Homo-oligomer: A and B are copies of this chain.
Amino acid sequence: MPNQTAAMLVIGDEILSGRTRDSNMHHLALALTEHGLALTEARVVADDHAAIVAAINELRAKYDHVFTSGGIGPTHDDITADAVAAAFGVAITHRADAMALLQAHYDRQGLPFNEARQRMARIPDTATLIDNPVSVAPGFTVRNVHVMAGVPRIFEAMLAGVLSGITHGVPLLSRTLRLERGEGDIATTFAAFAAEHPDLQMGSYPFNSNGSFGTNLVIRGTDAARLDAALAALEARLAS
C-alpha cells in the first residue's frame, strides 16, 4: 500500500504579513516524513472565513489527511473552528466535554471561566478532541482534518497525539552527497544516474556558502541498504 498523503493548512494573517515566521510547517514536514506520511502540499491563508472554508474543502477531498495550525484561541480573530464546521456542514456548539476540561483547568488556576475562554470549547459536532497537554484547550479532528493550535509548543504536542493514532507508513529515508561544485557541472551525469534508478527519488539543491556555490545531491527511498549503495555509486561516477 502506498503511503498516505497529507496536506498542511496554516491559518493566520500574522504569517502573511511577515509579523510571525511560521515554524509549524517545517516541524510537520519532518514529523510526517519520519512517520511515513507524504506531505504533498501546504497552504497559508488569512483569518478569512471564506478562504479557510474553501481551502479545507479542497484539501480534504484531495489528501488522506489535512493538518491545520492557528485560529483556535479565545479572541475574536480565532475563527478556524467555525470555518471547519461550515466546511463540513455541521453545527458548532460549546461542547460539554471541552467545557468540562476547561472549567476544571480554570478552577485549578483560580481564574474566571469567562465568555472568551468558553469560546475555546466551541467544537464542531461529530469532532473528536485532540489532547492539549500544554494549556488544556483542545484541538479536534473532524474526519480527516486535524485542527491544532498555532503556538509551536502546543502544535507540536497536539501533533504527537494525532500521529500516535495514525498508522505508520514506511519512513522515507535520504542520503546526501555534498559537492563543492555548481549544479551545471554535474547535472548531466546526475540526470543519467537518476534515469538508471527509477525506484529512487533524486533531487539537486544548490547552496551558497561564503560566496561560493555548491550542490547537495539527495537520494530518497525507503530501503537503507539500497540508498547506501546508490550513494557510493553516485560518488564514484562523479569522481570518474
**A-to-B contact residues, CB < 8 Å:** 13-22, 25-26, 29-33, 38-47, 51, 73-78, 106, 111, 114-117, 119-120, 134-135, 150-151, 153-154, 172, 174, 183-188, 190-191, 194-195, 201-208, 213, 218, 220
B75:A187 contact, CB within 8 angstroms: yes
Interface majority SS on A: helix, strand, loop or mixed? mixed
Tell me the minimal C-beta distance from A180 to chain B in angstroms.
14
Tell me the minimal C-beta distance from A184 to chain B in angstroms.
4
**Which chain B residue shows the least CB distance to A176?**
B19
Chain B residues near A39 (CB-CB < 8 A): 16-18
Chain B residues near A38 (CB-CB < 8 A): 16
Chain B residues near A31 (CB-CB < 8 A): 18
Tell me the minimal C-beta distance from A189 to chain B in angstroms.
9
A13:B44 contact, CB within 8 angstroms: no
B40:A46 contact, CB within 8 angstroms: yes
Chain B residues near A47 (CB-CB < 8 A): 203
A187:B74 contact, CB within 8 angstroms: yes
A191:B75 contact, CB within 8 angstroms: yes
Contact of A18 among B30, B134, B151 (CB under 8 A): B30
Chain B residues near A191 (CB-CB < 8 A): 75-76, 116
